[in-house]
Structure 1
Amino acid sequence: MTDTAGTARQLPRGRHGLPREQVIASQRERILDAMAETMAIAGYVGTSVAAVLKRAGVSRETFYEQFRSKEDCFAAAYERAVERLVDRIAEASEPAAENGTSETKLDRMERLLDAYFEGLIEDPAYARLYLVEVYAVGSDALTRRAQLQDSFVAVIAEVLDAHTEEQRFACQTFAAAVSAMVTARMAAADLEGLRGLCAPLLDMIRRSGELYGYAMVHEVRA
């Protein structure tokens, strides 16, 4: 299996002269990457702390200096995955800087979806952790997942000019449908199928009229 996008490299053995803070940060990164990569193979239930330690190249003492349990380590890896994806989506959903060309709302929506899908494709171990393995962990993780879904809905609603209660509900159903389709493809390791979702989703929005918001109506009139 290939490394995740952010896999931390093991520090050189022996005396390396690095500050303790840097050593701890490197160890933490390796443990989080190892958690995601091991779960991508064995699933959350089948992943043991011992397997994570072996992949990360750290001692049990080092692990428990930073995490209370496997679930605590999962929570930290989950937050890391979320932070990467949210930052990527937030940057992509911002209006383009003035460069002499006009940008439509659909252009912004395309950038948003591209950022979402490519973020998952480029970091499949963390994507699986975020989308699939979260369901095996417990209610706290699922609550956090629902909160993030709400944030995604808010971004979609802003881009598509959703103002009415009906439009916001439509954006919720759109986000839920995207999540379900993406989760199914990640569970099957179908990255090409994941990439292929973007175009038909955009076409559906293009033909939606004011279902999701007023953006498409305004663009047609313009």
Structure 2
Amino acid sequence: MTTTQAEAPADFRQRLLDGLAVSIGARGYQDTTVADIVRGAKTSRRTFYEHFASKETCFVALITEANDEMIRTISAAVDSTAPWPTQVRQAVETWLACADAQRAVTRSWIRDIPSLGLVGWDLQRDLMERFVRMVRVLTERAVGIDPADRELTIVLLGGLRELIASTVEDGRQVTDITEPAVRAAIALLGPTA
């Protein structure tokens, strides 16, 4: 098998995920069809079903991969040698920039996942746990800060997620909420003494 042949399935899969992301931006997740996805991916329904069982499984893959990429990007952006408030700002600014770069997918992640029922519930819990682990790792690396408390981290992440969604829905830039997001993160996760 040649390198081109070996890479083709991954390429098609990524094209399908990209096709879904474009369609979410144009129509929203609920109004997107498999036909919209394959049209955007410039491939066939057969190829779609070789990679995904349904529009829902494609959506779960898109959101999971976007979430994982966001966590990698945030983690890489934080300088563990910087003062704690600077680290918080780096993490928050990077999160908001990632969310702003994929506004429609971010909004869909927050608003449409609950429509998936049990699959959505499991996905939300998994995505939240991945973010909680990231925050815990970042706070463990920070000098003079106790590792993040799980419950306070969930309060912070849930509140910021909702603030991001309402900001997108209001047609504003996600980066507009940087200052309140940084203040909230420092207040909830910072030194207690």
Please give the range of the TM-score, normalised by the shorter of the 2 chains.
0.7 to 0.9
Bigger fraction of residues in helix: 2
- Superposed, 1:58-207 pairs within 5 Å as 58-96=43-81, 103-157=82-136, 158-159=138-139, 161-162=145-146, 168-190=150-172, 192=173, 194-204=174-184
Structure 1 pair 30–188 and aligned structure 2 pair: CA distance change class (3 A): farther
Per the alignment, residue 55 of structure 1 pairs with 40
Unaligned runs of 5+ in 1: 1-16, 97-102, 218-222
Distance 1:189 1:34 in 2: 23
CA gap of 1:162–1:213, structure 2 versus 1, over 3 A, is farther
**Cα distance per residue 1:83-125 (max 9 Å; x no partner):** 21111122123514xxxxxx21111000000110001112224
Structure 1 residues 93 and 146, CA, compared in 2 at 3 Å: closer, same or farther? farther
C-alpha deviation, 1:181, in angstroms: 0.5
SS in 1 for 2:66: helix
Q: Is the 8 A contact 2:71 2:134 kept in 1?
A: no
The answer to which of 104-113 and 18-27 deviates more is 18-27
Distance 1:144 1:81 in 2: 13
What CA distance in whole angstroms lies between the structure 2 residues aligned with 1:188 and 1:142? 26
User: Which of structure 1's runs of 4+ aligned residues deviate more than 6 A?
Assistant: none
* 1:162–1:168 Cα contact (<8 Å) kept: no
SS at match of 2:94: helix
Q: In structure 2, give the amino acid aligned to 1:74.
A: F
Measured at CA, do residues 171 and 79 of structure 1 come closer, stay the same or move farther in structure 2, by a change above 3 Å?
Answer: closer
1:38-73 Cα offsets, whole Å, 9 max, x none, are 122222221111111111111111111111111111
Question: Which structure's CA Rg is the greater one?
Answer: 1
Aligned residues: CA RMSD: 2.6
Seen in structure 2, the aligned counterparts of structure 1 residues 68 and 91 have a Cα distance that, compared at 3 Å, is: same
- CA 1:68–1:109 in 2, change beyond 3 Å: closer, same or farther? same
The Cα of 1:30 is off from its aligned counterpart by: 1.1
Structure 2: gaps spanning 5 or more residues? none
1 CA distance for matches of 2:114 and 2:69?
Answer: 20
Task: Give the count of matched residue pairs.
Answer: 187
CA distance in 1, matches of 2:115, 2:168: 15
Determine if contact 2:13/2:51 at 8 Å carries over to the other structure: yes
Report the alpha carbon displacement of residue 128 of structure 1 after superposing the two structures with TM.
Answer: 2.9
Structure 1-normalised TM-score? 0.72
CA contact (8 A) 2:110 2:162 kept: no
Q: Does the 8 Å CA contact 2:77/2:91 hold for their aligned counterparts?
A: yes
